[in-house]
Chains A and B, each alone.
Chain A
Amino acid sequence: DAKTTQPNSMESNEEEPVHLPCNHSTISGTDYIHWYRQLPSQGPEYVIHGLTSNVNNRMASLAIAEDRKSSTLILHRATLRDAAVYYCILRGEGGSEKLVFGKGTKLTVNP
């Protein structure tokens, strides 16, 4: 299945920007990069997705490398409510339409 690599954990201070990296060196040309997050005791929540260009929405920004082998999720001002596990996700291989989750990055936000 399509693979992504993320750091196990990251730490940030409240109201500071956070850059969450993801490597996806085997990404195919048509694969979207999805980001979801999971707060404690909840199901995953959609954050953002992109294909080639950088993307912004009310929650975050997604910066995609020119060769598409890596991307970075940017939280512009972290809050305590942003403490969660963040998943960088691609589709399964071979035309599969499932989203394949890895272990994600656990983000801790310090007050």
Chain B
Amino acid sequence: DTGVSQDPRHKITKRGQNVTFRCDPISEHNRLYWYRQTLGQGPEFLTYFQNEAQLEKSRLLSDRFSAERPKGSFSTLEIQRTEQGDSAMYLCASSFLAKTWSGANVLTFGAGSRLTVL
């Protein structure tokens, strides 16, 4: 397994355009997370999936943001009508948690997709 893959690694777009990021998690992982990171800050949680179900969304996730994980494998994060404030690194992570969750959750992160909105 090559770990968590994210595509594209870099995206430059003009304000108002739509962008989509893809994340391929580690194959046996049932949980998938999206985070956003701006310069000098720690990653901010956006949303997470258990299999194909989106179980939690941050208040940061405006209606311009949508995430899907249609078959419980890869996930996409789409940003519509991009704004300059959306410029950030978008990080995907995955983990495996059994149904009887013990409380420890070890995430494996991808290298991220950097978005620049001009």
For this complex, into which size category does the number of interface residues on chain B fall? 20 to 34
Instruction: Say whether B118 faces chain A, with CB atoms less than 8 Å apart.
Output: no
Residues in A whose Cβ lies below 8 Å from that of B107: 36, 44, 46, 99
A43 touches B42 (CB 8 A): no
Instruction: Say whether B41 faces chain A, with CB atoms less than 8 Å apart.
Output: yes
For this complex, into which size category does the number of interface residues on chain A fall? 20 to 34
Interface of B is mostly: loop
Residues in A whose Cβ lies below 8 Å from that of B111: 41-43
B103 touches A51 (CB 8 A): yes
Query: What 1/0 mask marks residues of chain A from 71 to 104 whose CB sits below 8 Å from any chain B CB?
Result: 0000000000000010100011000111111111
Residues in B whose Cβ lies below 8 Å from that of A49: 104, 106
B109 touches A43 (CB 8 A): yes
CA distance A103 to B40 in the complex (A): 7
Residues in A whose Cβ lies below 8 Å from that of B41: 103
Query: What 1/0 mask marks residues of chain B from 86 to 118 whose CB sits below 8 Å from any chain A CB?
Result: 000001010000000101111111111000000
What are 19 A-B pairs at a CB distance below 8 A? A32-B104, A41-B111, A42-B111, A43-B111, A44-B93, A44-B109, A45-B109, A46-B107, A49-B106, A85-B42, A87-B42, A97-B55, A97-B101, A98-B33, A98-B48, A98-B56, A99-B105, A102-B42, A103-B41
Residue positions of A touching B, CB distance < 8 A = 30-32, 34, 36, 41-46, 49, 51, 85, 87, 91-92, 96-104
Residue positions of B touching A, CB distance < 8 A = 4, 33, 35, 40-45, 48, 55-56, 58, 91, 93, 101, 103-112
